[in-house]
Amino acid sequence: MTTRTSDDTPARRNTTPGPERSGGANLADVARLAGVSRATASRVLAGRAAGKAASHARVLAAAQELGYVVNGLARSMMGVGRRSIAFVSSMMVGPTFASMAGGAEDVATANGHLFTMCTTGGDIDREAALIEALTEQRVAAVLLVGATPPTEEFEQRAERYAETLGRVGAQLILCGRAALPHLPQIASIDYDHRGGVRSAVEHLAGLGHRRIAFIGSLDDTTTSSQRFLGYQDGLADAGIPLDEEMTVRSGNTSDDAATATQAFIATHPDATAIVCQTDIMAVGVCRALHASGISIPGDVSVVGFDDMQLVADLTPSLTTVRAPFHDVGELAGRIAVGEAYTGPIVLPSELVVRGSSGPVRA
């Protein structure tokens, strides 16, 4: 490898300080073996050679024999390499992220870009370090996706990210995250959290429900606040006054939601419907209701959000809001590959009515 001296093969050295300086054969080796200059070899290998001189075959054969792999790093330094687009989220779990990533990936690969996904585990320091690293690596665009903690702090953070990326000609794109009011230059492709929950509440009101609860994390993320606003919208549409007693705060896991529900229904037996911030939480809500002998939707209707694959298989199957995750990713991908960004986009959500919601009990 690194040793150019003799035939000793020092196995693979365990200490990996960095990329090996020179992996195998390079362009000069190929040119030498083919008996041409590097320029000629370069032209042939890049398919930029016009006619078909005899030397072409020799170059190709030499490359084949030497196992030549073009150095993408060097190409990128020249400004002709493959660009890469990074999809950054806190966790890569659930069909939500998978769909968004899929949409973006389709566009990216179709345009010859390298599409990669990275996670931060919700750790802000890791997120910052990751974006710094991606910037150094000269990424073309970063798709920052998902809910993010406190708005004010995030806005500053996003501005730093965008600025850093901008220094190398890269772009920050918010994905499934509302545009930042003070930073319109940062692209945003989002879906309609608010309208989705709103239609869920309207659906329930249409079934005769009046005591409709909302369970959510109620933290400062745009996701949860937008969805909570949708709940308020829906109530307003139906002429139902907002009752603080009908809002339940819970963690994001199904276990948290189950615990919170248990306590809620014990003190509020008059609730006939529960709107959940996420499907995950809805699962916990259903579990708690079952455990308490409350029938769904006979006694209480339940509605979720996200339309995860498995919630259709719950008993009863879950009524939920389906968001156009794939489309969000696709649009974001388009911006990432160079399509002009003309302003924030918000895609509509759609209510999927299944078995967990029904007429209010008599």
For residue 145, give the nearest of 105, 187, 99, 90 by alpha carbon: 90
* Nearer to DNA among residue 70 and residue 118 (C-beta): 70
What is the spatial distance between Cα 258 and Cα 236, in angstroms, rounded to a whole number?
Answer: 27
Q: Residue 321 in 3-state DSSP?
A: strand
User: Binding string, 311-350, against DNA, x = CB under 7 A?
Assistant: ----------------------------------------
Helix H or strand E segment including 177: none
* Nearer to a copy of itself among residue 42 and residue 116 (C-beta): 116
* Nearer to a copy of itself among residue 95 and residue 208 (C-beta): 95
Q: Is 13 in the site for DNA (CB under 7 A)?
A: no
Q: Is 28 in the site for a copy of itself (CB under 8 A)?
A: no
Q: Is 82 in the site for DNA (CB under 7 A)?
A: no
53 touches, from DNA, a copy of itself, none (C-beta below 5 to 8 Å by class): DNA
76 touches, from DNA, a copy of itself, none (C-beta below 5 to 8 Å by class): a copy of itself
Q: Residue 70 in 3-state DSSP?
A: coil
For residues 312, 316, 321, 325, the Cα torsion angle rounded to the nearest 10 degrees is: -20
**Residue 3: Cβ within 10 Å count:** 9
19 touches, from DNA, a copy of itself, none (C-beta below 5 to 8 Å by class): a copy of itself
What is the spatial distance between Cα 218 and Cα 211, in angstroms, rounded to a whole number?
Answer: 19
How far from 236 is each of 198, 205, 240, 242, 243, CA to CA, in Å? 9, 11, 6, 8, 11
User: Binding string, 259-288, against a copy of itself, x = CB under 8 A?
Assistant: ------------------------xx-xx-
**Residue 79: Cβ within 10 Å count:** 7
* Nearer to DNA among residue 25 and residue 347 (C-beta): 25
Q: Is 55 in the site for DNA (CB under 7 A)?
A: yes
45 touches, from a copy of itself, DNA, none (C-beta below 5 to 8 Å by class): DNA
Q: Is 237 in the site for a copy of itself (CB under 8 A)?
A: no
Q: Is 67 in the site for a copy of itself (CB under 8 A)?
A: yes
* Nearer to DNA among residue 31 and residue 147 (C-beta): 31
Helix H or strand E segment including 345: strand 345-347
For residue 331, give the nearest of 124, 138, 191, 234 by alpha carbon: 191
Applying CB under 7 A, among 13, 61, 64, 77 the residue interacting with DNA is: 77
Q: Is 345 in the site for a copy of itself (CB under 8 A)?
A: no
Applying CB under 8 A, among 38, 49, 60, 102 the residue interacting with a copy of itself is: 102
315 touches, from a copy of itself, DNA, none (C-beta below 5 to 8 Å by class): a copy of itself
Which residues lie across from 247 on neighbouring strands?
214
At residue 248, what are phi and psi to the nearest 5 degrees? -115, 130
User: Could you tell me what percentage of the chain is helix, strand and coil, using 3-state DSSP and rounding each to the nearest 5?
Assistant: 45, 15, 40
Residues that bind DNA (CB under 7 A): 21-23, 26-28, 35-40, 42-46, 48-51, 53-56, 68, 70-71, 74-75, 77-78, 80
